[in-house]
Amino acid sequence: MAVKKDPLIIFSGPCVLESEDLAMEIAGKLKEDLSIFGDEVKLYFKGSFDKANRTSFDSYRGPGIEKGLAILEKVKKDFGLPVITDFHLPEQADAVASVVDVLQVPAFLCRQTDLILAGAKACHENNSILKIKKGQFLSPEETENIVKKAGHYLKKDQIYLTERGTSFGYNNLVVDMASFQIMKSFGVKAIHDATHCVQKPGGLGTATGGKRDQILTLAKAAVASGADGVFMESHPNPAKALSDSATCLELGKVQEIVQSLLAIYRVV
């Protein structure tokens, strides 16, 4: 008898929360479009309340923790979608975990022990998931230490690791497709960050550039290599997105992309 696969995990939404109206528009569209896949896909709505690692001082950072969490709470209530957001400080962990289903540790902060432990403890107390992005400066083997830190409070099924590319030369990132099996060997789920891994950091001087045309190719390769899910930022008008405009996906194309990825996921 065939063993039923876990659903393909999809994290999608704007890079940063711009307004309540836009968040509701995106969440509604994502839920409607991905509902055709039934229980084969597990959708999480993503939106950051603060982007504390922007290239420029003048870049839009978000509505802040209070307004941002209120928007995410409304998305959960109105659409019944689980939600994910970043946190940047240990003291934010409890407030964020009380609202969201997944706490995300940004890549540049993945070595911060206090942040990992605060997030893991908050997730344990709220039965949430801690999702940690592998830093661009780490090998996949080194992420085992991150798992061990989070494991002081969490079971392995509450820990997700995310591959978002590794720095290679100047203004470029490369995804090692072996990363997914290596990270999964630590007993956790491994996620492919489809939109951040095609960034060209600092490529536009005051904003991050990117290679949007490579998103689908790398995402298909990641799923074929064993990724448990895909993180892909989306926006109705990427050119006008207040963050990651060079790499976020057009909202209306997410369904087609997920369909392609699911076809591969079914046979891996």
Domain boundaries, the chain: 8-267
In this prediction, residue 52 carries a pLDDT of 73
Half-sphere exposure in the Cβ direction for 236 (13 Å, CA): 10
In this prediction, residue 57 carries a pLDDT of 67
In this prediction, residue 196 carries a pLDDT of 84
* Chain centre distance of CA 49: 14
In this prediction, residue 54 carries a pLDDT of 61
pTM beyond 0.95: no
Residue ranges of E strands in the chain: 8-13, 41-46, 83-86, 102-105, 129-133, 159-163, 166-167, 173-174, 189-193, 199-200, 209-210, 229-235, 249-250
Neighbours of 77 (CB within 10 A): 9
Residue whose pair of structure tokens reads 């060079």 in the numeric block: 246
- Residues (pLDDT < 50) of the chain are 1
Q: Residue ranges of the alpha helices (H) in 169-250?
A: 179-184, 215-224
| Residue 87: both structure tokens together | 């946190």
In this prediction, residue 65 carries a pLDDT of 95
The CATH architecture to which 8-267 belongs is Alpha-Beta Barrel (3.20)
CA pair distance 89, 53, nearest whole angstrom: 12
Half-sphere exposure in the Cβ direction for 83 (13 Å, CA): 29
